[in-house]
């Protein structure tokens, strides 16, 4: 009974998040007006502008000699959007509190048109005011959301948004995490125009374990959605499929077709056109199957080894949050040059550009929500927030063939509450997307002598097990690497989701001592890891930590770290360390 109640609660929360903050599918194919650029800002360390004393959101201005308001937006103080505030002003490098943003634009109301304001992501919590009226709030720093503003349009419009990135114990992530807490409007902002009735969402993929059936659904939004004809065309496949929506505005699709299957060696994408009498949306979609069979991961029915790398959403050369298509191209081409066919997007949902570029480049992806270490799993609000993040992540990316794994968490400590929450999350994800695999990264492998045993009970609910281990760095080798034995009773594939060591680029020294931050030591740790990997029969992927050095406020070594985690195979300038060549050779010699 308790299990049924928990699952039901999970479904209710998912439905609530869909009604309150569901994003439009495929925003970049819509009629949009970009609000990117310079926004006026007010820095508000103590959140004074949220109350009635200094109500910044009202944007009041003096009209008489006796009027006085102790705040003002001005072109003299601005921040670039998209962008984090930490990298734009030196005084905001470590800032964690409130910043108010303002943007004005011209857009006259149009008969028969609906208007939404869309945010790719805002970190972490925000309130959105449109023409001085609160239109909605959002929590979570890495997923998109939008609010309808149709009835609030004027000829000239203003958007004011209160952004706050303060850490809180019941946030996701919580108080302490190993990446920079970039605050601000960190991804694209757009005004989206749609018809009165429009194509809100769709899911078009191969039916599970089928290579000749394209299945899914199309969801309309607007009045008069009942019995609306929908047409789906895939010209290259000579597909023209008609369907009719039901009473809820939803049309189910089942299309016999045999597309060329997407893979890293042939990342084939098709132009898919969805047409309603009042609306048309184009998308580039690839078709592939992903499944597990025993300890094998099967891509299109064939066993695949995931040659991976972890990536943070950061441009290290500029010490800023990555957000653009050009940023995505750079990071993923770095991964391709290393020899990767797989990337773990850590530890949160990255921007939509990187997912779409991965589709084009043929890179498989692991995407996760930021349940990182010390999460308050005993707090019922956590499941609510986690499911909302899952819903928003999957809503945006469910049509992207590059994503093969949804991840629930990273390095969370075993407990009854942890297991209960993540189990409910996994069941919820399977209920809305049964075509992909589910994983989490654990760090609870028990090591004794030459044996490492995977015994975290969370593995029961996973399709693929991820293990983070730092043998040779945080944990000394208890036996020779080539003599290490790994045991698992779960008969599931294993991805070594994190391993590595730190070095400062250009710093040279002993290969057998951790204390010198030498490139030679980092390279030796990788050589030892590879020697161990060759003895793990159920290993189906490796994912070094990490592609490039990244910023972290918790890295305190004043000479070698200076606020950077130095475990990158590349330096903070994108230069190759000795360990890069070790992994490159391993991937070159490893068949797909």
| DSSP string of 99-113, one letter each residue | EEEEEEEE----TTE
Domain that holds residue 224: 198-290
Give residue 224's pLDDT.
74
Reply yes or no on whether the pLDDT at 204 is more than 50.
yes
| Measured distance CA(188)–CA(568) in Å, rounded | 28
Mean pLDDT across 398-414: 97
Same domain, 240 and 370: no
Same domain, 224 and 187: no
Q: Which helix (H) or strand (E) holds 394?
A: helix 380-397
Same domain, 467 and 557: yes
CA atoms within a 13 Å half-sphere pointing along the CA-CB vector of 406? 30
| Measured distance CA(287)–CA(401) in Å, rounded | 6
Q: Please give the model's pTM, rounded to 2 decimal places.
A: 0.94
Same domain, 256 and 269: yes
Q: Which residues contact 322 (CB under 8 A, 6 or more apart)?
A: 313, 314, 315, 328, 331, 350, 351, 354
Same domain, 541 and 410: yes
| Measured distance CA(25)–CA(396) in Å, rounded | 6
How many helices (H) and strands (E) in the chain? 7, 36
Q: Is residue 27 part of a domain?
A: no
- For 143-200, the pLDDT digits (tens) are 999 999 999 999 999 999 999 999 999 999 999 999 999 999 999 999 999 999 999 9
Higher pLDDT pick, 514 / 5: 514
Same domain, 479 and 571: yes
Contact at 8 Å (CB) between 436 and 405? yes
Same domain, 47 and 87: yes
Mean pLDDT for all residues in the chain: 94
Question: What are the Cα distances from residue 384, in Å, to 120, 177, 390, 427?
Answer: 21, 21, 10, 14
Mean pLDDT across 249-256: 97
Mean pLDDT across 517-521: 97
Same domain, 188 and 202: no
| Structural domain total, the chain | 3
Q: Is residue 30 part of a domain?
A: no
């Amino acid at each position: 009974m308790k299990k049924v109640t928990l699952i039901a609660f999970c479904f209710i929360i998912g439905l609530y998040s869909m009604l309150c903050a569901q994003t439009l599918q495929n925003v970049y194919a819509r009629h949009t007006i970009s609000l990117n650029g310079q926004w006026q800002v007010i820095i508000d360390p103590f959140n004074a502008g949220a109350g009635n004393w200094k109500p910044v959101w009202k944007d009041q201005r003096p009209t008489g000699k006796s009027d006085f308001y102790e705040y003002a937006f001005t072109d003299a103080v601005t921040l670039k959007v998209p962008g984090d505030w930490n990298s734009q002003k030196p005084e905001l490098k470590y800032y964690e509190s409130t910043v108010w943003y303002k943007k004005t634009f011209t857009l006259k109301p149009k008969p028969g048109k609906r208007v939404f304001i869309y945010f790719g992501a805002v970190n972490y919590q925000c309130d959105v005011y449109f023409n001085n009226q609160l239109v909605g709030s959002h929590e979570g720093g890495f997923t998109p959301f939008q609010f309808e503003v149709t009835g609030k349009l004027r000829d000239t419009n203003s958007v004011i948004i209160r952004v706050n990135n303060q850490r809180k114990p019941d946030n996701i992530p919580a108080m302490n995490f190993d990446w920079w807490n970039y605050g601000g409007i960190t991804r694209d902002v757009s005004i989206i125009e749609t018809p009165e009735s429009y194509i809100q969402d769709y899911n078009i993929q191969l039916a599970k374990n089928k290579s000749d059936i394209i299945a899914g659904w199309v969801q309309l939004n607007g009045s008069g959605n009942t019995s609306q004809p929908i047409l789906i065309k895939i010209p290259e496949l000579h597909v023209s499929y008609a369907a009719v929506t039901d009473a809820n505005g939803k049309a189910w699709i089942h299309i016999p077709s045999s597309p060329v299957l997407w893979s890293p060696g042939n990342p084939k994408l098709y132009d898919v056109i969805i047409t309603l009498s009042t609306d048309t949306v184009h998308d580039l979609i690839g078709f592939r199957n992903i499944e597990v069979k025993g300890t094998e991961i099967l891509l299109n029915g064939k066993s695949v080894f995931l040659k991976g790398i972890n990536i943070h959403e950061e441009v290290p050369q500029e010490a800023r949050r990555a957000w653009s298509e050009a940023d995505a191209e750079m990071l993923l081409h770095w991964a391709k040059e290393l020899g990767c066919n797989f990337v773990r997007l850590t530890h949160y949902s990255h921007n939509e550009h990187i997912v779409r570029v991965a589709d084009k480049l043929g890179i498989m992806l692991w995407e996760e929500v930021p349940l990182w270490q010390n999460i308050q799993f005993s707090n019922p609000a956590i499941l609510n927030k986690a499911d909302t993040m899952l819903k928003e992540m999957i809503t945006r990316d469910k049509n992207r063939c590059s994503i093969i794994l949804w991840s629930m968490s990273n390095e969370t400590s075993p407990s009854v509450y942890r297991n209960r929450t993540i189990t409910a999350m996994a069941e919820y994800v399977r209920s809305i997307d049964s075509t992909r695999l589910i994983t989490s990264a654990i760090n609870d492998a028990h090591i004794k002598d030459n044996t490492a045993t995977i015994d975290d009970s969370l593995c029961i609910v996973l399709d693929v097990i991820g293990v983070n281990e730092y043998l040779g760095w945080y944990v000394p080798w208890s036996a020779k690497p080539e003599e290490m034995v790994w045991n698992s009773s779960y008969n599931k594939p294993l991805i070594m989701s994190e391993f590595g060591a730190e070095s400062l680029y250009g710093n040279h020294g002993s290969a057998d001592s951790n204390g010198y931050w030498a490139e030679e030591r980092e390279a030796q740790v990788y050589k030892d890891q590879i020697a161990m990997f060759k003895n793990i029969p159920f290993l189906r992927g490796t994912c070094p930590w990490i592609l490039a050095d990244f910023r972290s406020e918790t890295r305190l070594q004043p000479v070698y770290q200076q606020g950077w985690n130095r475990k990158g195979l590349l330096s903070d300038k994108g230069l190759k360390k000795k360990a890069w060549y070790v992994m490159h050779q391993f991937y070159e010699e490893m068949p797909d």
